[in-house]
A and B are shown apart, each in its own frame.
Chain A
Amino acid sequence: MTNAMDMMLNDLEALLVLKLADDKLFLGHIQSDWTGLGPILEEDIASSSMAQDDLSHALVLYEYLGSRFSIDPDVLAYERLPSQYLCCDLVTVPDDFDWAKALIRRWFFAHYAAPVLDQLALFNDSDLVERCRRLRAEESLHISYLNDWMQRLSSGSKEAIVRLQNAIDFMSDDARMLFELPGMILNVDRPSFDGREELFNEWSSSTHEILSTTNLKTNITLPTTTVKGGRNGVHADHFIAQLTEMNEVRCKDPGAAW
């Protein structure tokens, strides 16, 4: 298995899939924790559905990688070394049960995931393309839902604007790092692999389109390629805390079925 894992971690295409899968896993993980505690019963239900989408998307992508490299999807999700996870810090930073932070995180992320899925759908692999196509349709649904919320809240009350702006400021540094790439990919001399700037531009323009209808502001720039974070396995402490919590039960009894 170690061998299979190494093979996967040295495969450029696999890395691009893996970073999205890991992002989705931890976003779904942290967001599903809200189930039962949301601000309105109906909203609780709706945001839990979307957290389940994110977890399902992670599963769909792990299943793809799992079938390519003969690794159990749950092993991929739960049993790697911390440095082998490629998610960014944005998806694991605690939201302190502040719904504004949770919303901004989801909103930032959905606008990022959509063009990433478009990018993956250009690969020459019909299985992956088909999976990404389905995920992309659901991502659009998330985007329009979250856009709607951004506009509603920011026209709702002064307090809401202050809270959302604080959340944006709090999440901005981590949001930049969405666009970090694993070192191996940066070194590839093929345009389809380093779509970093295109991705960032697309994300900036789609988020700004919504922000321009509100009083909210962002000041987020593309990080230089020398900054190393989650995409290169260099994670913040809160990532380790989330991972430890996530595999607490599973790791108690290695090899057991659950």
Chain B
Amino acid sequence: MSGASNPVMNIDPSQEDQAKLAEFEQKIADGLLIEQGDWMPEAYRVGMLRMAEHHANSEIIGALPEGEWITRAPSLRRKLGLTAKVQDEVGHGQMLYRVSQDLGKPRDEMLRDLCTGKTKYHNCFNYPAPTWGDIAMIQWLIDGAAIMNQKTLADGAFGPYVRTMHRINMEEAFHFKSGEDMVLTLMSGTKSQKAMTQEAFDRWWGPSVMFFGPHDKPGCKDLPPMKWRMKTETNDSLRQRFVDRFAPAAIDLGLVIHICEKDDEGMVTSKRVDEQCVEDKETGHWGFTDPDWDEFFRVIRGNGPCNAHRLALRRFSYEQGAWVRHAIASGSTSLPPAA
């Protein structure tokens, strides 16, 4: 599972060298990519650094909920697939941290800022994955959403980030396909498998619709993040694309799209059918009930079901590994053993 990269960006380009800025913006308008070493506005450097860092953080934390299920995967092939997928996420995090590292922030500092909550990661990883059905839903819905988002990010303007996106998308295709295979298997399975899958779907549909971030502000296309092609699509158009793709697929599978109330642990307490989720035959678009944005901001502020646990486990892992990093940074195979 992988993250959208929509950290809040307050960018003020008025302090920049205006001639160079104009040249930079022209380059982007001409569809050219910005490469490391090119002149770029300070706001762009910082913005791209934070965007890649947020994305990397999301990959590293995203490895945790699914990691919980590696030991319980119900067949050898699923066990291998899930391990490889979680491993890919660590790999994506590693490659994305590199982009930010080149833009000026040391990796270790980024890993520490993640542990202490100074920097954020994608909201959807603060929800629990209490059953195997959740693993199927994460790979199908969240990775599906991630691919949609990252395909547009691969169309961005920063060369190093774009190259990383291309690589990541290749691997995400495996994650999504394996998720689709799991959902299909479960929904073609026994009564209890179907019930488990519906319950997991109820938990993940809301976070998936929220995945692309809050509604766009008016005029966002003229603001730096989009003008400089750090991102190339609005949150709302990505969201619509997602619903158009996944709502009919869910219905074909026999799933019911619900509007759910959840408790503090992220478990569904009540639900009703989302009557708005039907196709508009004229536009071809699917309707949906706007998600609970209060919940979204509550979770972003750190009060989601799993925020504390995810960060604590990440920090534990960081601290547990300290002696290894220390030893290999000072050791060498060519040295004789210490006396």
**Does a CB–CB distance below 8 Å link A and B in the complex?**
yes
By a beta-carbon cutoff of 8 Å, the part of chain A in contact with chain B is 28-30, 32-33, 35-45, 48-49, 51-52, 55-56, 58-59, 62, 73-74, 77-78, 97-99, 148, 151-161, 163, 213-215, 242, 245-250, 252-253, 256-258
Binding-face segment, B14-22, B64-72, B199-207, B256-264: B64-72
A148-B333, A253-B190 given; A246·B71 CB < 8 A: yes
| Contact in complex: A157, B67 (CB < 8 Å) | no
| Contact in complex: A256, B190 (CB < 8 Å) | yes
Which of A36, A56, A163, A247 has the most chain B CB atoms closer than 10 A to its own CB?
A36
Give the size category of B's interface with A: 35 or more
| Contact in complex: A74, B76 (CB < 8 Å) | yes
| Contact in complex: B86, A213 (CB < 8 Å) | no
Tell me which of A35, A148, A155 contacts B337 (CB under 8 A).
Answer: A155
- The minimal Cβ–Cβ distance linking A99 to chain B, given in whole angstroms, is 5
Give every chain A residue within 8 A of B83 (Cβ-Cβ): 32, 35, 48, 51-52, 55
| Contact in complex: A156, B326 (CB < 8 Å) | yes
- The minimal Cβ–Cβ distance linking A181 to chain B, given in whole angstroms, is 26
Q: List 10 A-B contacts (CB under 8 A).
A: A32-B79, A40-B324, A51-B83, A74-B75, A156-B331, A159-B326, A250-B75, A256-B190, A258-B75, A258-B189
Majority-rule SS of A interface residues: helix
Q: Is B94 an interface residue (CB 8 A)?
A: yes
Give every chain A residue within 8 A of B80 (Cβ-Cβ): 52, 55-56, 59
- Per the bound structure, the CA–CA distance linking A250 and B60 in Å amounts to 28
By a beta-carbon cutoff of 8 Å, the part of chain B in contact with chain A is 60, 63-64, 67, 70-80, 83-84, 86-87, 89-91, 93-94, 97, 132, 185-186, 188-190, 192-193, 313, 316-317, 320-333, 335-338
- Per the bound structure, the CA–CA distance linking A157 and B336 in Å amounts to 12
A35-B86, A52-B83 given; A213·B337 CB < 8 A: yes
Tell me which of B67, B74, B192, B331 contacts A258 (CB under 8 A).
Answer: B74
Give every chain A residue within 8 A of B67 (Cβ-Cβ): 33, 35-37
- The minimal Cβ–Cβ distance linking B77 to chain A, given in whole angstroms, is 8
A42-B94, A160-B323, A245-B72 given; A258·B84 CB < 8 A: no
* Inter-chain pairs besides A41-B90, A152-B331, A163-B323, 13 sampled, C-beta below 8 Å: A35-B86, A40-B324, A40-B325, A41-B93, A43-B324, A56-B80, A59-B76, A156-B327, A159-B326, A249-B73, A253-B189, A258-B185, A258-B186
| Contact in complex: A48, B87 (CB < 8 Å) | yes
- Per the bound structure, the CA–CA distance linking A242 and B76 in Å amounts to 15
Q: What residue of chain B has the Cβ atom nearest to residue A72's Cβ?
A: B75
- Per the bound structure, the CA–CA distance linking A101 and B327 in Å amounts to 15
Give every chain A residue within 8 A of B337 (Cβ-Cβ): 154-155, 213-215
Which of B97, B332, B337 has the most chain A CB atoms closer than 10 A to its own CB?
B337
Tell me which of A33, A41, A157 contacts B71 (CB under 8 A).
Answer: A33
| Contact in complex: A155, B333 (CB < 8 Å) | yes
- Per the bound structure, the CA–CA distance linking A41 and B110 in Å amounts to 13
- Per the bound structure, the CA–CA distance linking A155 and B331 in Å amounts to 5
A48-B86, A74-B75 given; A41·B97 CB < 8 A: yes
Give every chain A residue within 8 A of B320 (Cβ-Cβ): 37, 39, 97-99
- Per the bound structure, the CA–CA distance linking A203 and B316 in Å amounts to 35
Give every chain B residue within 8 A of A73 (Cβ-Cβ): 76
Tell me which of B64, B89, B193 contacts A256 (CB under 8 A).
Answer: B193
- The minimal Cβ–Cβ distance linking B49 to chain A, given in whole angstroms, is 18
Give every chain B residue within 8 A of A154 (Cβ-Cβ): 331, 337
Give every chain A residue within 8 A of B328 (Cβ-Cβ): 40, 152-153, 156
Give every chain B residue within 8 A of A247 (Cβ-Cβ): 74
Tell me which of B94, B326, B336 contacts A41 (CB under 8 A).
Answer: B94
- Per the bound structure, the CA–CA distance linking A74 and B335 in Å amounts to 46
| Contact in complex: A35, B74 (CB < 8 Å) | no
| Contact in complex: A152, B72 (CB < 8 Å) | no
Q: What residue of chain A has the Cβ atom nearest to residue B131's Cβ?
A: A249
Give every chain A residue within 8 A of B317 (Cβ-Cβ): 36-39
Give every chain A residue within 8 A of B335 (Cβ-Cβ): 155
- Per the bound structure, the CA–CA distance linking A55 and B76 in Å amounts to 7
Q: What residue of chain A has the Cβ atom nearest to residue B67's Cβ?
A: A36
Give every chain A residue within 8 A of B193 (Cβ-Cβ): 253, 256
| Contact in complex: A249, B72 (CB < 8 Å) | yes
- Per the bound structure, the CA–CA distance linking A43 and B87 in Å amounts to 11
- Per the bound structure, the CA–CA distance linking A218 and B30 in Å amounts to 66
| Contact in complex: A155, B76 (CB < 8 Å) | no
| Contact in complex: A245, B71 (CB < 8 Å) | yes
Which of B75, B316, B332, B335 has the most chain A CB atoms closer than 10 A to its own CB?
B75
| Contact in complex: B338, A155 (CB < 8 Å) | yes
